[in-house]
Amino acid sequence: MNILDIINKTKRSEPLSTKEIKWLVKSYTDGEIPDYQMSSWLMAVRINGLTDDETVALTLAMRDSGDILDLSCIDGITADKHSTGGVGDKTTLVIGPAAAACGVHVPKMSGRGLGHTGGTIDKLESIPGFSTDLPFSRFAEIVNETGFAVISQSGNLCPADKKMYALRSATGTVDSLPLICASVMSKKLATNAACLLLDVKYGSGAFMKTSEDAKKLADLMERVGIAAGKKVKAEISDMNSPLGKAIGNALEVKEAIEILQGKITEGYLYELCIRLTADILMLAGKGSDEECLAMARDSISSGKALNVLRRTIELQGGDPAVCDDTSLLPQPQSHYTIRASSDIKINSIDCEELGMVSLILGAGRISKEDSVDPTAGIIMECKVGDKIASGAPIMRLYSTVCSDFADAAVRAQDALNYTACRIATY
C-alpha cells in the first residue's frame, strides 16, 4: 500500500478497503505520511465524499488510534450525550443529573470551549473548587455513587483525530460530512458508553446552517454508531437563537440549576432538556416515549436530579451549596445594559456573533492556552418575535476582565435584526 494510490482512488471516487483506511490512519498518526499528502487525501474526500462503509472504517480506525475507555467497572447501563456545539448550550448540566436520577449512568468526558461555543468543562469549573482533573478510578467511583460525573478528555483519546482536525482546519476541509462524522463519532465511541444520544444543531449559532444539512449529518452519525454496535439516537435542534437566556460559564450554570430547582418550567431550553433526557431513557430501555418523558419531568419536579448534581459537585471538590444559593457562583465586577432606543420587534438573532461577543467579554478563548473569566457573558432579555418598548432592556453584558463595554455593546446590538414597530399603551 502507498499513499499515492489511496489519494488517486479517492480522487476517482473508488472505494477504499477497510485495510487501506486502517493503514492510512495509522501511518499518518505515526508520522509516516506527511501533512501535504494527507491534506491531498482530505481534499479529495471533501470533494467526492466517502461511502458509508468507508466512513465506518475511518471512524473505527480513528477510535482505535488511542485509548478506549473500559466502563465495565461502572454498574448498570451507561449513556453519553454529544452536542455539535452552540451558544448557551448548558443541557448536559440538566440532562446528566436527570437521567442519572432515573437510573442511567452518565459518565461524561468533555472538552473546553474554543471560539464562539462554550465548553462543559469551563462551565463546571466556574463552580468554586470543582475539579475535572480526576483519575479514571475516582471518576468511576463517583459515577457509581451518583450516576453522573464529568472529567476532562484524556490526552491519548483519538490522537488520529487531533492530528487530522488540526490539518482540516488549516486546509479548508472541515466542512465534509464524512470527516465531521468520523471526528465526532471516533471520540464518542472511544468513551465507550452503551447508549449514545446526539444533539445535532442547525442555525446561525451552529456549524450546520440548515436543518437539511443537520439531518444528513445526524442520519450518517446514527448509521455509523449502529454499525459500531451502539444504541444511537440523533435529535435535530434549533440554534438560531441562544439556548436559554444565559451565555457564559457561571451564568449558564446558574440557569441550569434554576431548571433543576423547578424555577424554570417552560420554554425551549426546558423542553429540549426534557426531550433529550427522555431519549436517553428510551435508549436505556426504561420505557416508551410517553413514559420516559414523564420520568424526565418527574426527576426534576421531585428534586431528585438536583440532588444528583449537588452530590456530584461535592464529590468533585466543588461547593454543593451553589445548588441552593446560586449567588455563591463567581460574580462579575462590571455590567452594562443595552436598551431599545425605540419600539422594536426582534426578527432574528445572529447567534454566532453573540458567542463572539461573550468571547470578547472574557467568557471564551481564541487559543487553547487562553484563560476564561467565569463571570463573563450575556443575559438575553429578548427572543425572536418579541416586541421591546423603547427604553426596555434588550440584553445585559457582564465581565470582570473587561470594564469598557463600548465595542462589545455595538457588536451585540448588531447581532440583532429588528424593525420599528408600534407598541400599544393603555
**Would you name the residues annotated as active-site residues?**
82, 161, 168, 183, 187
- Calculate helix-pair angle for 304-315, 289-301, nearest 10 degrees: 60
Place of cell 425572536: 384
d(CA 301, CA 265): 9
**In this structure, CATH architecture of domain 331-420:** Alpha-Beta Complex (3.90)
Instruction: Find out whether 396 and 379 touch, Cβ atoms under 8 Å.
Output: yes
Report which of 130, 133, 150 is spatially closest to residue 142, judged by C-alpha positions: 150
Residue 387, pLDDT score: 94
- Calculate helix-pair angle for 92-101, 289-301, nearest 10 degrees: 100
- Label residue 71 exposed, middle or buried (CB < 10 Å: 0-12, 13-18, 19+): middle
H-run or E-run covering 9: helix 3-11
- Domain covering 79-323, topology: Pyrimidine Nucleoside Phosphorylase; Chain A, domain 2 (3.40.1030)
Annotated domain spans of the chain:
3-63, 79-323, 331-420
| Long-range pairs, 170-175, Cβ under 8 A, ≥24 | 171/39, 171/42, 171/43, 172/43, 172/46, 173/39, 173/42, 173/43, 173/45, 173/46, 175/46, 175/207
- Domain covering 3-63, topology: 1.20.970
d(CA 229, CA 401): 47
Computed from CA positions of residues 200, 183, 217, 232, in that sequence, does the dihedral angle turn out positive or negative?
Answer: negative
Q: For each successive 10 residues of the chain (426 residues), what is the average pLDDT?
A: 95 97 97 96 97 97 94 95 88 97 95 67 95 94 98 85 89 90 94 96 87 94 95 94 94 98 96 98 97 98 98 98 98 96 94 91 78 94 93 97 92 94 75
